Structure formats: structure tokens, C-alpha cells
Structure 1
Amino acid sequence: MSASLETIHLPHLPSSLEVHAALYKDVQNAASLRQQLLSANSNFEYAFIDASMVISRAHALSAVFRAVNDYLNERLKSRNIHSEIVFSFSPTNNIADSFRKFGISDTTCNLLVVKVSVTPDITHDSVAAHLAQNVQGTLLPFDDEALAGISDVAKIKRAYKLGSLPSACSKQANGAPDEGKRQLELSVLGAIALRGAT
């Protein structure tokens, strides 16, 4: 997969609701991006997620699916679909805490940016052009390999209260995926799903 903005169609959701995702490392202007969010600048209506808190592509997409589903069913608990995506990463119902743990901070170096096409003018090209102008960082492919290089497993385990799980490594010696990482991913996905049941 090439390092560029990716447009994703999530199964079981309307095809018009495209999801655009870009993964960056070495972001230089996180404080400025966060300031645009705080000032509610509609041009910066994105889900800005601290990528060190994302264990896998499935982890990110499950949070996105959850938020889009809540948007379609008019169940948003936060300001808009993009803030709801950040909130959907959280295993608790504390919105402020979820933004502190999973959202962009002034010192964020690795960033996952997600934008949902909730209006027809939000297209792959418009999002790609806006991000190219406004995010100062190096694009990575949005895949498990890239995320494995930047995710902070210890921080993720703390956020989801999974300290008893074995430590995950990206690969075993024989090149097979590490069972600890798979177990962590399943536990994280379970925590996201369970919050919806409360």
C-alpha cells in the first residue's frame, strides 16, 4: 500500500459515507492543528487521533464504524461525527478523558487523521489537498505494519486497563504475527464494543 490518503468504504454503511484516512509520522505542527480544533474552525473538522494509541487498522476502523453508526442513528454524544470518532476509541463514557488519551495534543508526533464524507463536497481530492497544505509530517501507509512501528503498547494497555495481558511484539522470530498483539487487539476491540452496550 502506498503512503497516501486512503478512501475506505466500510461494510454495512451507506456507500456515500466514504471514510478518508491518512497516517503521519514526525508531525511538526500538532499544536497548531489542535488550536484549529479548539477554535472550532470548520475547515479543520477531522478526527485527529494520536497514532501511538492505535494498535491496528482494525482498531481504528472499529472506532470509525461505531461513530458513523451512531451518527446515522442520531446517537452522537459529542459535537460532530469527527469528535465522535475520537470518543469511540475510549472504553469509558468520559468524553474529556477520551480526548486527553486518544486525541491530538500539542506534543503529538504520530497522527492518524480521519474525515468522513458527510456532505458531497468532501471528496478524496478535497481532503488530500487540504491535508497536504496543513499537516507538516511524513505520510505512511495506513496499515498494521506502519502502526506497529509507532503504537505505544504500554500506553494502550494502560488506557484500556489491560495490564495483565502479555506484552505484544510485532512479529515472532519465525515472522508470524505475535499472539500477544492479537490478544491485545481483540481485547481493545471488545472494550470498544462493550462501551456501546452500556
Structure 2
Amino acid sequence: MSASLETIDLPHLPSSLAVHVALYKDVQNASYLRQQLLSANADFEYAFIDAAMVMSRAHVLSAIFRAVNDYSNERLKSRNVHSEIVFSLSPTNNIADSFRKFGISDSTGSLLVVKVAVTPEITHGSVAAHLAQHVQGSSIPFDDAAISQISDFAKIKKAYKLGSLPSPAASQANGAHDNEKRRLELSVLGAIALRGAT
């Protein structure tokens, strides 16, 4: 069920390029979804992101903005705008590595799905119906509270080479946890922005 599919209009980008985002936990068929992607099945042209590698809405939206902006300006480095979203999460210019670290794997349990409306027939309704039919998992809201329950901070820090920063631990007093998380998030966003500048 895709009750939590959210449609986002990104500021500074064409309003025709609406972005549809859904977040799932307890996904049972990641290997099937990955296989559709690998076989270039056009019906499954999505950005399938391992949600454990995402730490906030801002983290995801910054990658989406970069990819859609590059798509609009015909500067894609990967196959399409959806693969570019996964690539945009990476702090390096290695496309294969970005898919290994941030993309769906056979063992992915929490999944973030992004679909950009690059043609008029891609609507909230069509995406919601397709995901409801093909993703076997529990749909949850795409918000910071839900994302923080899924984030694997140790893996995120390793991917962005931020080992020296402390990990936000749930056991910390709330203020300390929020401060550590914010520092980590700013470092991650900085790494994404810097990669794009090269």
C-alpha cells in the first residue's frame, strides 16, 4: 500500500518535474525490484535507495535537486535522472561505487523510492498504483522521524569518510543527540555539494 506517497515540487526547478517519494520498511522483495532495475525494465525506472544510507529529508532532497537540475540542463553523468539521484548521494565520482553503497541490494530491508515525472503520464496516482502492486513492504511517512529510525549512522559515516565525527546515539540526552546528528548531516550535505563542484 502506498498511502504515504508524497509528491514534492522542488523550488527553482520546472514545476512540470514533480517528484514522487515513498518510504518503506520491512521490504520482502528487494531482490525482485533490483532485478527489474538491472534488466532495464522501463516500468521500474525509479531511484531505489537503501533507506539505511539516508539520514534526513534534506539529505535525500539535496541529491534529488542536484540530479533533477543536471537532468534539466542535460548534464547527466549516468543513464537517466533516477540513476543520477542515487549517484548524487555519493561523495565520489564513481558511479558503480555509488550504486553499491546507496542503491538497493538483495538484502535491503528499508527502501526509499523516488520517481521524477519526466513525462506527463507519470502522476501521483500512476506511481502510487504501481508501487502498491510491486513493493512488498510497509509504507511509512517520508519524514525525519521515520528516517531516523532506519538510518545506519555507522554505515553513513563510513560511506562519507566521516569516522572522526561522533555517532548520534539514541541513548544520549536529546539535545546532544540532535547536535551530533546535525553536525553529521551538515558534513554529509557538504560532501555531496563538494563532489558536484568538481
SS in structure 2 of the partner of residue 178 of structure 1: helix
Conserved? CA contact 2:23–2:140, under 8 Å: yes
Conserved? CA contact 1:3–1:142, under 8 Å: no
Call closer, same or farther: CA 1:181–1:175 in 2, change over 3 Å: closer
Question: Any stretches of 5+ residues in structure 2 without a counterpart?
Answer: none
Q: Percent identity?
A: 81
What is the total number of aligned residue pairs between the two structures?
197
The answer for the alignment partner of 1:84 in structure 2 is 84
SS in structure 1 of the partner of residue 58 of structure 2: helix
Conserved? CA contact 2:153–2:168, under 8 Å: yes
Give a deviation string over 1:127-150, Cα, whole Å, max 9, x none.
000000000000010000001000
Report how far residue 168 of structure 1 moved.
1.1
Question: Any stretches of 5+ residues in structure 1 without a counterpart?
Answer: none
1:56-67 matches, within 5 Å, as 56-67=56-67
1:101-120 matches, within 5 Å, as 101-120=101-120
Conserved? CA contact 2:22–2:141, under 8 Å: yes
Equivalent AA in structure 1 for residue 181 of structure 2: K
Conserved? CA contact 1:25–1:111, under 8 Å: yes
Call closer, same or farther: CA 1:137–1:103 in 2, change over 3 Å: same
SS in structure 1 of the partner of residue 132 of structure 2: helix
The answer for the alignment partner of 1:140 in structure 2 is 140
Conserved? CA contact 1:52–1:151, under 8 Å: yes
Counterpart Cα distance in 2 of 1:173 and 1:119? 47
Counterpart Cα distance in 2 of 1:163 and 1:176? 18
1:7-22 matches, within 5 Å, as 7-22=7-22
SS in structure 2 of the partner of residue 23 of structure 1: strand
Report how far residue 46 of structure 1 moved.
0.1
Structure 1 consecutive aligned stretches of length 4 or more whose deviation exceeds 6 Å: none
1:22-171 matches, within 5 Å, as 22-169=22-169
Give a deviation string over 1:13-63, Cα, whole Å, max 9, x none.
111110000000000000000000000000000000000000101000000
Conserved? CA contact 1:169–1:178, under 8 Å: no
Counterpart Cα distance in 2 of 1:64 and 1:147? 16
Counterpart Cα distance in 2 of 1:75 and 1:169? 39
1:170-181 matches, within 5 Å, as 173-174=173-174, 178-181=178-181
Give a deviation string over 1:143-196, Cα, whole Å, max 9, x none.
000010000000000000000011113585356861000000000000000001
Counterpart Cα distance in 1 of 2:175 and 2:137? 30
Conserved? CA contact 1:171–1:178, under 8 Å: no
SS in structure 2 of the partner of residue 113 of structure 1: strand
Equivalent AA in structure 1 for residue 134 of structure 2: N
Call closer, same or farther: CA 1:161–1:16 in 2, change over 3 Å: same
Call closer, same or farther: CA 1:10–1:176 in 2, change over 3 Å: farther
